[in-house]
Amino acid sequence: MADLFSDLSLRDLEIPNRLAVSPMCQYSCDTDGLPTEWHRVHLGSRAVGGAGIVMTEATAVEPRGRITPHDLGIWSDEHAEALQPITEFIRDQGGVPGIQLAHAGHKGSKTRPWDGNVPVSPDETDPDGAEGYEVLSPSPDAYPPFAGDRPAMRKADQDDIEGVIDAYRAAAERSLEAGFEIAEVHAAHGYLLHEFLSPVTNDRDDDYGGSFENRTRLVREVVRAVRDVWPDEKPVFVRISGTDWLENRESWDIDQSVRLAGDLADLGVDLLDVSSGGLHPDQRVPGGPNFQVPLAEAVREGTDDLAVGAVGGVTEPEQADALVRNGRADLVLVGREFLRDPYFGLRAAGELEDDAAQEWPVQYRRAVQR
């Protein structure tokens, strides 16, 4: 049996293999955050294709937490009801449905990537006529000099912060109603929680800025709220950026990530999904195969109480299998290769000569094995 196709047990959840579809925004809602046929087919076909976990895209916990007006959301019961058939379908295919709970912070209210990814202010509309909105920032003055205009930003006050924590808690409750088995808190890629973590984007002088303890407070409070309502038998993941990839300035780095991992384990987080960057345009990201794996490895070596997910530049079955076999990660998340090939999981099982290669859906099985 290939290591990639061994079970992963987290709390009472049995994940059938170590391969997950990494969260990927589709920008394919109307303006109500409700899933469309696109989401059903996109997520459903990757479940058919043998992924152990199918994670939704960044799903906004409140409307101003969307990257674009076309992002998926989970801020009402209607959203939970609309997502339920998708989780049921993923489960019917033998996969585990996960949801990435997100707040875009000051990277919100943009046009879609194919429309230029530029800020849309509250009195403007995007090319589809969707209205912009005010976005939330820990420190508007520390907003990094991205190309294009500044978005309309509001500095998060105590009420906003409590509102964000409540929104995460309510989103987790609704995710459970919708049938998700894993809740992942998105604290990476320069979005709200990462903006609080990094001294580059957080120059607050209250309880949420300054020291490591203060900058990590919001993430810890959000995780505590999610863990409070998420059942004991189901796992919580957190995605972080292991580093900002910035040199010669105070920033978020791997040492702080390892320290945070320990704190998150204490709060009942089961897996840390280690990505990187996304905070500042000066970042120097190495890229290439396995480019973020050393960050995941550092967390895995630095914390005993937490499983670790590696992501980034994984395209080959043998490469993914080696990450698990060599103890570099407990879970491998794959993004773009799952876009190129929704059946990457079944293809990987075939190339690795694992029995999971027999698990083509019954509708296809006899035909593909002829």
Contact residues toward ligand FNR (CB under 6 A) are: 22-25, 57-58, 100, 186, 188-189, 239, 275, 311-314, 334-337
Of 186 and 215, which CB lies nearer to ligand FNR in the complex structure?
Answer: 186
Name the amino acid, one letter, at 238: V
DSSP state of 242: S
Q: Is 28 left (phi over 0), alpha (psi -120 to 50) or beta?
A: alpha
- Shortest Cβ 60–ligand FNR spacing (Å): 10
CB of 57 or CB of 181, closer to ligand FNR: 57
Q: Of 67 and 80, which has the nearer Cβ to ligand FNR? A: 67
Establish whether 191 is a catalytic residue. yes
For residues 57 and 15, is the Cβ–Cβ distance under 8 A? no
Catalytic residue among 191, 208, 343, 364: 191
CA 357 – CA 25 distance, rounded (Å)? 28
Cβ-closest residue to ligand FNR? 335
Check if the beta carbon of residue 196 is closer than 8 Å to that of residue 218: yes
Closest approach of Cβ 288 to ligand FNR, in Å? Answer: 10
Ramachandran region, residue 27 (left: φ > 0; alpha: ψ -120 to 50; beta: rest): left
Least Å from the CB of residue 2 to ligand FNR: 19
At which residue do the structure tokens 């929104």 appear? 167
Q: Compute the least distance from the CB of residue 370 to ligand FNR, in Å.
A: 31
Q: Mark 320-353 as b/e (b = at least 16 C-beta within 10 Å).
A: bbbbbeeebbbbbbbbebbeebbbbbbbbbbebe
Nearest approach, Cβ of residue 276 and ligand FNR (Å):
9
Nearest to 271 by CA among 296, 306, 301, 233: 306
Nearer to ligand FNR, 191 or 360 (CB): 191
Query: Toward ligand FNR, which CB reaches closer, 189 or 227?
Result: 189
Catalytic residue ranges: 191
